[in-house]
């Protein structure tokens, strides 16, 4: 009898170990020897409904369902904003060329990228109004998953990614975005835990891993983007051996020479070039994109600055007339809860503060940098125009070379700080960062986005200029 | 940002670090640092490329580089 029980116990243990051993996260595929399908990159070809001349980028910050709902409300507002551009009537949403997102904002960005107008009927019942945290806890509580979670290669984030994959993103992979080919180009951002560097789910980034983004589930990218430290574990990727023919793109090669001339560019190039060392770095582990930039603005800044950046190339080619950057910032302010205590805060408070203080400070800074770039461009155009006017008064004035085309840049930011009523402002600023908000809270967030946009001075100016092109 | 002006006897697209970025005769806005400049086809120009370090320029005083016809 005893030996039978022991036998059954051993069998059960063996089954458990086998089950646990089998559980493994979804591994990204290597690049195929020959690629036939299109890769997920920015599509430079413009379409009738989406011109280069009116170039619109959206940035969706992190902040759980609070951020997802705020950015969803802004999408509704853009859909309802009718414009006439180059003789074609359309919605402002039709002109959105890129979306860069972090964490909670990545749910909205990915859903819109994959399903377009369907977002306006499906996203609330499928995500915003759902207690996602409860659903994830139920999966964790399911004994069938305990064995899988015992595996060193499968963790809570993989359960979360499975839920997003099955219940929200219809098991779509990046190839679906690449095959569609239309803009906006959606950039989902995470953070490489090893070096704190931003990691974007684009084929350009995956080229450095000799990996194919096309076969990778969109849900796993969203999971990586929103893997908040301490609550969730990292999403892991494989860095495949680089063939002897692998060559860094020239922009990166030149950047690596810029330690003295341009330290920012040097680190940008170096932080991508490290992946070439696949023997030392065969894996990378990604967490919440907010650790590197909780606004999601840095990919846009990079695309604006770099000679290989998709925005820079269009601007230098004179293709852009209006450049609109709309930042949807769901930054909270829970108030100072620690400075009134004589005793120092406990470990959990310190842990959360450590994870978020740098995020918040850095995020404000990136918005200001983008505004400085806008001002620099405007000043350059004004200086050239002023110089030409002055010289025009001289006999036989010399030709003053100019930029390919003048652009009107707009950097529009909406955030809860702009709400005039103090109580109402406090209500939004104190909404928690969670994936389980009430229907009333979601309703309020969806409504406040359009209201804030209507009141944003730069948005008013943009609308005015679109009325009088 | 820094500024570059590329000249060539004929209108031609300019390649910066292997990417098309503007045209000859226009001021091209670029990030500071090392860049490799060349022209789009046909390959009837010399030198075939020029490496520059772009710094301390302005929109009214861009760094100027010239390519010649290679006949």
A218 within 8 A of A177, measured Cβ to Cβ? yes
Q: Helix, strand or coil for residue A361?
A: helix
pLDDT > 70 in chain B, percent: 100
Domain limits for position B9: 2-69
* Gap from A449 CA to chain B (nearest CA, Å): 33
Residues in chain A where the model's pLDDT stays below 70: 1-22, 335-337, 352-362, 469
Give the C-alpha separation, A271 to A295, whole Å: 20
> With an 8 Å Cβ cutoff, are A401 and B20 in contact?
no
> With an 8 Å Cβ cutoff, are A313 and B21 in contact?
yes
The sign of the torsion formed by the CA atoms of A357, A359, A360, A364 equals: positive
For the stretch A304-330, pLDDT in tens is 999 999 999 999 999 999 999 999 999
Total number of domains in chain B: 1
> With an 8 Å Cβ cutoff, are A401 and B1 in contact?
no
Structure-block tokens of residue A354: 């450590």
Q: With CA atoms as reference, report the closest residue to A260 among B69, B67, B53, B30.
A: B53
Residues of A in contact with B55 (CB under 8 A): 261
> With an 8 Å Cβ cutoff, are B33 and A316 in contact?
no
For the stretch B10-69, pLDDT in tens is 999 999 999 999 999 999 999 999 999 999 999 999 999 999 999 999 999 999 999 999
> With an 8 Å Cβ cutoff, are A261 and B33 in contact?
yes
Structure-block tokens of residue A416: 């809860």
**Which of B4, B17, B66 to mutate against chain A (most A CBs within 10 Å)?**
B17
Q: Which residue of A has its CA nearest to B6?
A: A401
Cis peptide upstream of residue B47 (ω within 30 degrees of 0): yes
| pLDDT (0 to 100) of residue A1 | 53
Of B19, B33, B54, nearest to A313 by CB-CB distance is B19
| pLDDT (0 to 100) of residue A416 | 96
Numbers of helices and strands, H then E, in chain B: 0, 9
Q: At what angle do helices A143-150 and A2-22 cross, to 10 degrees?
A: 70
pTM of the predicted model, to two decimals? 0.92
Give the C-alpha separation, A189 to A57, whole Å: 15
CATH number at residue B42: 2.60.40
Residues of A in contact with B23 (CB under 8 A): 317-318, 404
Q: Which residue of B has its CA nearest to A255?
A: B34
Give the C-alpha separation, B62 to A116, whole Å: 43
Whether B47 and chain A come into contact, CB under 8 Å, resolves to: no
| pLDDT (0 to 100) of residue A15 | 55
């Amino acid at each position: 009898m005893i030996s039978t029980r022991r036998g059954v116990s051993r069998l059960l243990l063996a089954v458990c170990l086998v089950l646990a051993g089998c559980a493994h996260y979804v591994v990204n595929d290597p690049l195929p020897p020959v690629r036939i399908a299109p890769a997920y990159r920015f599509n430079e070809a413009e379409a009738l409904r989406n011109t280069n001349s009116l170039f619109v980028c959206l940035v969706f910050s992190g902040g759980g369902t609070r951020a997802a709902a705020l950015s969803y409300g802004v999408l509704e507002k853009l859909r309802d904003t009718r414009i006439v551009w180059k003789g074609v009537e359309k919605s402002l949403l039709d002109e959105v060329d890129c979306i860069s997102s972090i964490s909670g904002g990545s749910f909205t960005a990915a859903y819109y990228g994959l399903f377009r107008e369907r977002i306006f009927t499906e996203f609330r019942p499928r995500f915003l109004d759902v207690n996602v945290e409860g659903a994830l806890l139920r999966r964790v509580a399911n004994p069938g998953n305990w064995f899988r979670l015992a595996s060193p290669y499968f963790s809570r984030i993989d359960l979360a990614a499975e839920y997003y994959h099955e219940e929200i993103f219809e098991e779509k992979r990046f190839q679906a975005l690449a095959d569609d080919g239309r803009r906006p180009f959606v950039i989902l951002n995470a953070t490489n835990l090893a070096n704190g560097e931003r990691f974007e789910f684009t084929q350009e980034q995956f080229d450095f891993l000799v990996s194919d983004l096309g076969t990778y589930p969109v849900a796993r990218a969203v999971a990586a983007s929103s893997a908040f430290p301490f609550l969730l574990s990292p999403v892991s990727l494989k860095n495949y051996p680089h063939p002897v023919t692998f060559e860094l793109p020239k922009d990166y090669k030149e950047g690596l020479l810029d330690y003295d001339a341009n330290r920012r560019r040097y680190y940008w190039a170096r932080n991508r070039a490290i992946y070439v060392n696949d023997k030392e770095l065969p894996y990378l582990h990604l967490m919440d994109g907010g650790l590197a930039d909780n606004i999601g603005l840095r990919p846009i800044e990079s695309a604006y600055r770099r000679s290989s950046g998709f925005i820079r190339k269009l601007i230098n080619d004179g293709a852009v007339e209006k450049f609109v950057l709309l930042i949807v910032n769901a930054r909270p302010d829970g108030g100072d809860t620690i400075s009134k205590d004589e005793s120092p805060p406990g470990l959990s408070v310190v842990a959360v503060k450590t994870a978020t203080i740098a995020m918040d400070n850095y995020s404000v800074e990136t918005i200001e940098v983008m505004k400085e770039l806008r001002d620099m461009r405007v000043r350059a155009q004004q200086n050239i125009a002023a110089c030409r006017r002055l010289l025009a008064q001289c006999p036989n004035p010399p030709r003053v070379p100019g930029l390919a085309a003048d652009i009107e840049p707009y950097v529009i930011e909406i955030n809860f700080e702009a709400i005039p009523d103090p109580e109402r402002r406090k209500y939004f600023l104190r909404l928690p960062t969670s994936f389980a908000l009430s229907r009333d809270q979601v309703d309020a967030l969806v409504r406040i986005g359009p209201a804030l946009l209507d009141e944003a001075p730069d948005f008013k100016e943009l609308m005015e200029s679109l009325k009088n092109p | 940002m820094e500024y570059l002006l590329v000249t060539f006897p004929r209108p031609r697209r300019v390649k910066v670090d292997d990417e098309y970025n503007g045209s000859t005769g226009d001021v091209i806005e670029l990030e500071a640092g090392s860049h490799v400049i060349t022209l789009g086809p046909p390959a009837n120009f010399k030198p075939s490329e020029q490496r520059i370090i772009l710094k301390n320029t302005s929109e009214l005083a861009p760094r100027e580089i010239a390519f010649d016809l290679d006949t």
